[in-house]
Amino acid sequence: MMSNINKPGSFGSSRGISKKPKKDNTRKPSSTRWIGRQLNDPYVLETQKRGYKSRAAFKLLQINEKHNFLKSGLAVIDLGCAPGGWLQIASQKVCSVNGKEKVVGVDLLPTEDIPGCISIVGDILDQSVGKNLIQILGCRPNIVISDMAANTTGHRQTDHIRTTYLLESALDFAIENLQKNGVFLAKCFKGGAEIEALSLMRKYFAKVSHIKPDASRKESVEGYVIALGFKEL
C-alpha cells in the first residue's frame, strides 16, 4: 500500500456521507452506477479541489512516491497525455530548465495548455510524430510515460489485447529513444498477452516491477509496469 502523502484526506464518502445520483428513468443502470461511483470517489473530489485535469494524476503521484524517478531537470515524454493529469504532475516534479520545457506530450485528442509543458495532437504509431516529439523536447528523454488504454468493448480479453498493443507501441518508442539509465512507465493489464512485452523490458532495463497505485480502483484490472535503468544494448 502507498503512504498517505498523496492520498485524499477525510472528506465526502470517506466521512461516511454517501451521495446518490438523481433519479432518471431514461438512464441505464450501468450509467447510474458509474455516476454514483464518481459522486462518492474521494479521488474525484480531490482532483477537483487541487485543479488536476484527471484523477489519474494521483496514480502518477503515488507511483513516483514509491520509485522517485521524476526529478528536477529530467526530460519527459508523455504518450497519450490527454486530458493532462500526468503532464501536470510531471511538470511539477521535473520543472523547466532555463525557460525550456522539459515535458512534452502527445495524444489523438487536444490537451489544454499546461504550464511547463508542450502537447501536440498526433498518433504515436506514426514515426514522424515520434521524431517531432524529440525535436520539440530538444533531446532524447530520460523518462517515457504512457497511460494509454484502448476504448473498452466490454469483452475482457479483447480489451486486454488492444491495450497490450498500445503498451508494446509505447515500449518500442522508449527503447528507440530513451537515454541511458532511463525510465519507462506504462499501463499494463495482466492477462497473458503482455508477457512478450515484459520479457523485452527485462532485456533492456535493469529492473522491471508491477505496481497498482491506490488511486486505481480495486475492482479494476488496471495496473502499471515500471522499468528502471535503460541499458542501451
Q: Are 70 and 94 in contact (CB under 8 A)?
A: yes
Q: Are 69 and 94 in contact (CB under 8 A)?
A: no
Pick the catalytic residue: 187, 203, 207, 231? 187
The identity of residue 209, as a single letter, is: S
Which are the contacts of 110, defined by CB distance < 8 A and separation ≥ 6? Answer: 82, 119, 121
Q: Tell me the C-alpha to C-alpha distance, in Å, between residue 6 and each of 143, 200, 229.
A: 21, 31, 25
Q: Tell me the C-alpha to C-alpha distance, in Å, between residue 158 and each of 153, 155, 216, 222, 223.
A: 7, 5, 21, 14, 17
Element (H, E) at 63: helix 56-67
Element (H, E) at 171: helix 156-177
Cα torsion 170, 162, 129, 88: sign: negative
> Which residues does residue 78 pair with via DSSP β-bridges, in sequence order?
105, 145
**38 is written with which cell numbers?**
464518481
- The CA-based diameter of the chain, rounded to the nearest angstrom, is 59
Which are the contacts of 158, defined by CB distance < 8 A and separation ≥ 6? Answer: none
Tell me the three state secondary structure of residue 64.
Answer: helix
Catalytic residue list contains 49: no
Q: Any idea which residues carry the catalytic annotation? A: 187
